Structure 1
Amino acid sequence: MHYVIIGGDAAGMSAAMEIVRNQPGAQVTTLEKGHIYSYGQCGLPYVVGKQIASSTDLIARSVEMFRSKYGIDAKTGYEVTDVDPIHKTVSGNITQTRDKFIIHYDRLLIATGGTSVIPNWDGRHLLGIHTIKTIPNTEAIIADLANVRQVTIVGGGYIGLEMAENFVSIGKKARIIQRGAQLASIFDNDVACLIEEHAKAKGVEVLLNEEVQSFTGDIRVSEVITDKGSYQTDLVLVAAGIEPTTSFLNGTGIQMHSNGAIIVNKHLETNVENIYAAGDCATHFHRIKQLNDYIPLGTTANKQGRLAGLNMIGQNNEFKGIVGTSIMKFFDLSLGKTGLSEKEAEQLGISYDIHVQEATDIAGYYPGKETMHMKLIYRKDDQLLLGGQIIGGNGVDKRIDVLATALYHRMTFSELLDLDLAYAPPYNGVWDPLQQMAKRNTAKK
């Protein structure tokens, strides 16, 4: 049995490791377009901000380790351009030599991840315009910073915000241009306005409801042109999102989501026999929405990859789905979300209610307390929890994780009161803030 995996990062190598651990002597070939395997993409902004000394610190296992220690035929510079499900082959080009290759598989995993989106703007090929998705991307940004004072970031999502903080931390001026009406579009506007206020307080220029149209400059970018004006800049970071890297699968018969993600079932199988998919190139079943979604995160990629690998060797493991949990650091704030926002609940036609409250992360009388802005969303008829958004200093991560667990187990708002949560004044109040919200909501009824 020859297992072939396209993609050498989170999902792909999680699968490969499960195969070799659970089926000694298995023949596993991994095909990676780049030359670096198994690295932490989420740490890349912090390399730019010098909080992590080197991009090599993000590499979990080297290519040589996969080959020598685990017996995986880990190939680099292999770009797959075609999959033939009838003859069970993958083919493409070796990037350094441009030689062609063709490899037979018995079972195939597609774990090609996502690609940074750069819209078809005039001037997009000028020097000084970057994306950040890979270690080479990151090294290119660092090498380009010497004479940079003003950075313009196109996109106000998680990557845009993290990069704004890290550029400011190394003494650069940061500007965010966001085509929508708010930063961090996964949050509701009433929560996102707190993020905008914090960005401005930290010296970040925020331009909302503005759409980039082009870039100008002789050889290097010097100006960003939008539908509302023009802005001088020394460097541009495009953080406009990612799209699944799946265009090479056209004509294979593999079913795709409307955004190009590969549709998989609970066993990470595609509709084509012996072909699996996992990670940022695949759909993710959303337990609250009860439908296939696309929320590309490293946590999900690793989980899906692990289960795909086990299923490829004949086990019968199910991916239980996501609830849409994420968190990020933005200067002095932690921004956490899980489950549905109001916008998502409305799109799904769910009748819902909300509860908003300010709370402290620890006992109110204990020194060092910090404030959290908390918002819970629940179904109106039976109080089933639907989602939550929390912004604040310390303690956001703890509450988001508790709430994510509650969502996974389909708990109601009032059932939060029954949880046995840790308490001591330096860590919490006698009633955790989530339980305080449940108490007050119950008292309203």
Structure 2
Amino acid sequence: MKYVIIGGDAAGMSAAMEIYRNVPGAEITSLERGFIYSYGQCGLPYVVDGRISSTKRLIARDVETFRDKYGIDARVGHEVERIDVDKQLVFGTNASGEPFTIAYDKLLIATGATPTMPVEEGADLAGVHTVKTIPQLEDLLSDLTSDIEHVTIMGGGYIGLEMAETIHACGKKVRLIQRGSHVTKILDPELAQHVHDEAKKQDIELLLNTTVQAFEGNGRVERVITESGALATDLVIVATGIKPNTQFLEGTGIVLAKNGAVIVNRHLETSVENIYAAGDCAMHFNIVKERLDYIPLGTTANKQGRLAGLNMAGKCAPFRGIVGTSIMKFFNLSVGTTGMNEHMAKELGFEYEAYKLSARHIAGYYPGAQRLYIKIVVRKRDQQLLGAQIVGPAGVDKRIDVFATALYNKMTLPDLLDLDLAYAPPYNGVWDPLQQAARMNGRL
């Protein structure tokens, strides 16, 4: 049996390892257009200020390990350009410009996603960067010299905010530009305000409701042009989102979503026989929304890749779905979300109620108690949990994971009161903040 995997990172190599474990003698070929396998993209911002000493620390398994230890034909510099689904052939070009053709019995598309570049004019100037891969980060690091005094970041999502923190830690002045009315669009505005306050506290220049129209400079970026005028800068990082790498699937008959991501069923199968997809190039079933969604995260890529590999190996391993859980650090704040925020619930037509609460993350009388800001959204008719947003300096990760588990199991707000959660003054109050929210009578 010939297994071909397009993509050598989280989803692709998680699948490869499951095939290796479950199909003795399997012939596995992986095709990676870059030159680095299996690394932690989410750690990239923390290499900037030295919290992570080197990009090498982010590599889980190098390509030689896959080749020598597991017998996988792990190729680098191999870009796939098209697939013949009738003859079950993959075509592409290697780093030397030579064409290649590989036959498959089972094929996995795990090609990930590429950063978007919403600005055309001046995007090719030196000093304009995106950060999604190790080579891209190393290009940024080589450009981030002592001569660089001011950095402009476009986009107020995970990468934009994390890069703002680490660039600031390098002693640079940072401006963050957000097209919408608040950063962290996964939060409702009143929760996002805490992030705005933290940005101001840390001397991050925050420009909201601002659209970048062009970059200007003499060979190197010197100005960012907005509808309000020109803003001087020495370097730009664009972090406005990503798009699935699926352009090579044109003409295959594989069904794609509007955003270009591959539509898959519970077994990660595409609409074409013997072809699977997983990770940032694929759609994800959202348990809370009860529909396909696109929330590209490393956790989901690894899970989907593992299950795709099992299904390709002949096992029955359905992907139950996601609830949309994420967390990020921004200076002294942690921002955690799971499920839907109020804006999403309203947009999708849910009849909902929302509750918000401010509570201490541990017993209020114990030294070091910090304040959490919590907002919970529930379905109106039966109080089934729909989502939570939590912002604060400590204790966010614990509560967002508890709530995500409750969401996964379709619990209601009153059900939270029955949870047997750990209590001791250094760790919690008698009633956990989530349980305090469940006891509330006041409604938004």
TM-score range relative to shorter protein: over 0.9
Q: Secondary structure at the match of 1:295?
A: coil
Say yes or no: does 1:130 pair with 2:138: no
What are the equivalent positions in structure 2 for 1:43-192 lying under 5 Å apart? 43-95=43-95, 97-146=96-145, 147-192=147-192
Q: Deviations over 1:324-347 (max 9, x none)?
A: 000000000000000001111011
- Letter of the 1:77 counterpart: G
Map of 1:238 onto structure 2? 238
Q: Deviations over 1:61-108 (max 9, x none)?
A: 01000000011000000000101101101111102x100001000000
Same amino acid, percent of matched pairs: 60
Map of 1:36 onto structure 2? 36
Map of 2:275 onto structure 1? 275
Query: Retained in 1: the 8 A contact 2:340–2:386?
Result: yes
Superposition RMSD in Å: 0.8
What are the equivalent positions in structure 2 for 1:11-410 lying under 5 Å apart? 11-95=11-95, 97-146=96-145, 147-410=147-410
- Letter of the 1:423 counterpart: Y
Q: State the 4+ residue runs in structure 1 displaced beyond 3 angstroms.
A: none
Structure 1 residue 360: Cα displacement: 0.8
Could you tell me the TM-score, scaled by structure 2's length? Answer: 0.99
- Letter of the 1:343 counterpart: H
Structure 1 residue 120: Cα displacement: 4.2
Q: Deviations over 1:205-231 (max 9, x none)?
A: 000111110011111100000111211
Distance in 2 of aligned mates of 1:83 and 1:173: 47
Distance in 1 of aligned mates of 2:324 and 2:339: 5
- Letter of the 2:281 counterpart: C
Gaps of 5+ in 2: none
Q: Deviations over 1:187-241 (max 9, x none)?
A: 1111111111111110100001111100111111000001112110000000010
Structure 1 residue 125: Cα displacement: 0.1
Gaps of 5+ in 1: none
Distance in 1 of aligned mates of 2:191 and 2:436: 20
- Letter of the 1:140 counterpart: D
Distance in 2 of aligned mates of 1:392 and 1:63: 40
Q: Deviations over 1:12-39 (max 9, x none)?
A: 0000001101112211000000000000
Q: Secondary structure at the match of 2:107?
A: strand
Distance in 2 of aligned mates of 1:183 and 1:348: 21
Distance in 2 of aligned mates of 1:52 and 1:199: 23
- Letter of the 1:126 counterpart: L
Distance in 2 of aligned mates of 1:369 and 1:72: 51
- Letter of the 1:108 counterpart: L
Query: Retained in 1: the 8 A contact 2:119–2:212?
Result: no
Distance in 1 of aligned mates of 2:258 and 2:55: 34
Distance in 1 of aligned mates of 2:186 and 2:389: 10
Distance in 2 of aligned mates of 1:157 and 1:234: 22
Distance in 2 of aligned mates of 1:228 and 1:262: 39
